[in-house]
Structure 1
Amino acid sequence: MPILGKVYTFNQENVNKAPNAAGVYALFAGDNCIYIGMAEGDGTTLRTRLKEDFAGRSGVDIKKATEYKREICVNFADREKELLEEYELTQGNLPSCNSAAS
């Protein structure tokens, strides 16, 4: 099941409001998912990961991202794996920035 919930504009204001919690997130360029990632909690939260991506410090080229979705969860590694497997099954490949990071 894809990440449910609100779509946020990928800008500094929204990234700064992201929760300081563990979870998963997806970055989009328009309607296309370009990256699926996770945040482990504690020092690596949804907010810190999104800030890294927004600032271009994550090592993944996500400059074309325009929106994101996020989901707080404790089983973040399993959830990220599930989202990546589902995406690959339905699209035939990984999101473009996940493929580039491999």
Structure 2
Amino acid sequence: MAMQVEFSFDDQKMVKKGVRKEDIYYTLKKNFAERGLECTADGKILTFASTGKNEDYGNIWAIIFALIECDWFTDTASSCVFVENGKEEDILSQIPRAKHIMATA
């Protein structure tokens, strides 16, 4: 099962929030690496891919849900797309619903 998550960030929003792209990328790379997931693209779009382990799916989503709770992420991300077997899921469009579910859980 091929899975990956792709991130991009808005430069103007990062300046407004007072965060640097380098710091965001470092944080994401650190969190994904700690869970054994590989950074496969490090440019305008930052991409992390599964390695084929059974726990990859849960690890990717644990990181995504943790990011949803971070203001710096929700305030600066311009895209966050989960891709599984060629099917894309727009995470940013689902943040209000996810936050509501997490608040009532």
Asked if these proteins are the same fold (TM beyond 0.5), I'd say no
Give the TM-score category using the shorter length: 0.3 to 0.5
Under a length normalisation based on structure 1, what TM-score does the superposition of the two structures give?
Answer: 0.32
Under a length normalisation based on structure 2, what TM-score does the superposition of the two structures give?
Answer: 0.32
Structure of higher CA gyration radius = 2
Write 1 or 2 for the structure with the bigger share of helix.
2
Write 1 or 2 for the structure with the bigger share of strand.
2
